[in-house]
Amino acid sequence: MKKLAVLLIALTLCSAMLIGCSEDTSEKVYVYNWGEYMDPDVRDQFEEETGIKVVYDEFQTNEEMYPKIKENAVQYDVVCPSDYMIQKMIEDDLLAEIDFSKVPNLSNIDQTYLDSSKSFDAANKYSVPYCWGTVGILYNKTMVDEPIDSWASLFDEKYSGNILMIDSVRDAYAIALKYLGYNINSTDKAQIEEATKLLQSQYPLVQAYVVDQVRDKMIGGEAALGVIYSGEAIYTQRENPDLEYVVPKEGSNVWIDGWVIPKNCKNKENAEAFINFMCRPDIALKNFEYITYSTPNKAAREMITDEDIKNSTVAFPEQSVLERCTTFSYLGSELEAFYNDEWNKVKSGTN
């Protein structure tokens, strides 16, 4: 049975590789990025300037991306996972060290972000920060009658049916754990179970569990409170001025998405050229203006002309806010499974 399956998988892989080989891959770079996470013009500009063709694919969650890289199913040259996933990929020996002599534009990246990256990439050898942000509450000023500054509002019966909770295990648990005063990287099962109880008590109050849809629903005034990534907040505020974003006082998660090069990549030099291009101030600025996710590129930030955006506390929160925030770290497969099981309990609505 096992041999047969292995044989079949091998056959499929071989045929996939044959298809791959039939094309000349020398002047291409295969990029795997989050959905809606890059200005399409930037890719065209890269192709024009370097003559390297960009083959671009998108993913929705880190968990969706991981098996594709791990199983070697598709070969990508540059991928953009989040912090804890980068750590997991380093531990699983899936990443290649970046040759930084080929990425001189790294000097544009603010040293602060390289320092925070050390929490998942200890020696800054495998990743280059691309975007970063916080997780917070987006609320509709016309639908709440008090200042929102705490995660407590998400568990308040007053807002029953008016809460959009985030449909992502680690983010949801980060909120519950922070609210309970624990570390968002908690490895204590008793704490995690306590968080589960809290999230279960929230279930009846939640209108829907969403990720990307939170944007449109909040713009449409569908709910009073929604959990959102800071990068989406600026966009929603542009569309609906009643919306306000806050990083609750208990603290939150601060995340960094970074470019990495998988070990099995075919065009490492092209990948490095691509990463270098992404670090160029004018390109980083172009991307920032398109996707509105905070850029770690200090030279690009200097170039922002709109003063409101340049000084936006949503895009660039004060140091005091960031001090309350923690980055995710990878907790190992056993705890990962435990978190997933606990989250399933919450989502099924049983107590």
Partner 1 sequence: MNDTKPKLNPSSDSGLMLPHTNRIKLLSFPYIIWMAGFIIIPLVMILFYGLTNKENSFTLENLAAIAEPINLQALGLALLLSIISTVICLILSYPLSIILNNIKLKSNSLIIFIIILPMWMNFLLRTIAWQNILEKSGTLNTLLTFLHLPTINIINTPAAIILGMVYNYLPFMILPIYNVLIKIDQDVINAARDLGANTLQTFTKIIFPLSLPGVISGITMVFVPSLTTFAISSILGGSKILLMGNVIEQQFTLGNWHAGSGLSLVLMIFVLLCMAILSKYDKEAEGSNIW
Give the residues lining the site for partner 1 (CB under 8 A): 1-2, 4-5, 8-9, 12, 61, 63-64, 66-67, 167, 169, 203, 206-210, 217, 220-222, 336-337, 340, 344-345, 347-350
* Shortest distance in whole angstroms from residue 27 CB to partner 1: 31
Task: Could you list the beta-strand ranges (E) of the chain.
Answer: 28-34, 53-59, 78-79, 95-96, 128-140, 163-166, 206-210, 225-229, 243-246, 254-259, 261-262
* Shortest distance in whole angstroms from residue 98 CB to partner 1: 25
Token code pair at residue 338: 């435990």
- Name the residue nearer to partner 1 (CB basis): 2 or 308: 2
* Shortest distance in whole angstroms from residue 59 CB to partner 1: 10
Count the neighbouring beta carbons within 10 Å of the beta carbon of residue 43. 19
Cα–Cα distance between 309 and 250 in angstroms, integer?
25
* Shortest distance in whole angstroms from residue 350 CB to partner 1: 6
* Shortest distance in whole angstroms from residue 133 CB to partner 1: 22
DSSP character string of 89-132: HHHTT-EEPP-GGG-GGGGGB-HHHHHHHTTTSTTS-S-EEEEE
Asked if residue 162 lies in contact with residue 121, where contact means CB atoms within 8 angstroms, the answer is no
Rg (CA), the chain: 21
* Shortest distance in whole angstroms from residue 226 CB to partner 1: 12
* DSSP-derived pairing of the beta strands 78-79 and 225-229: unpaired
* Shortest distance in whole angstroms from residue 347 CB to partner 1: 6
Q: Which amino acid is at 85?
A: M
- Name the residue nearer to partner 1 (CB basis): 2 or 48: 2
Token code pair at residue 201: 């008590």
- Name the residue nearer to partner 1 (CB basis): 4 or 190: 4
- Name the residue nearer to partner 1 (CB basis): 46 or 66: 66
- Name the residue nearer to partner 1 (CB basis): 181 or 241: 241
- Name the residue nearer to partner 1 (CB basis): 12 or 111: 12
Long-range contacts of residues 90-95, Cβ cutoff 8 Å, at least 24 apart: 90/120, 90/121, 90/126, 91/330, 93/263, 94/69, 94/70, 94/262, 94/263, 95/126, 95/127, 95/260, 95/261, 95/262, 95/263
- Name the residue nearer to partner 1 (CB basis): 228 or 314: 228
Cα–Cα distance between 268 and 97 in angstroms, integer?
10
- Name the residue nearer to partner 1 (CB basis): 64 or 188: 64
* Shortest distance in whole angstroms from residue 221 CB to partner 1: 6
Cα–Cα distance between 217 and 231 in angstroms, integer?
16
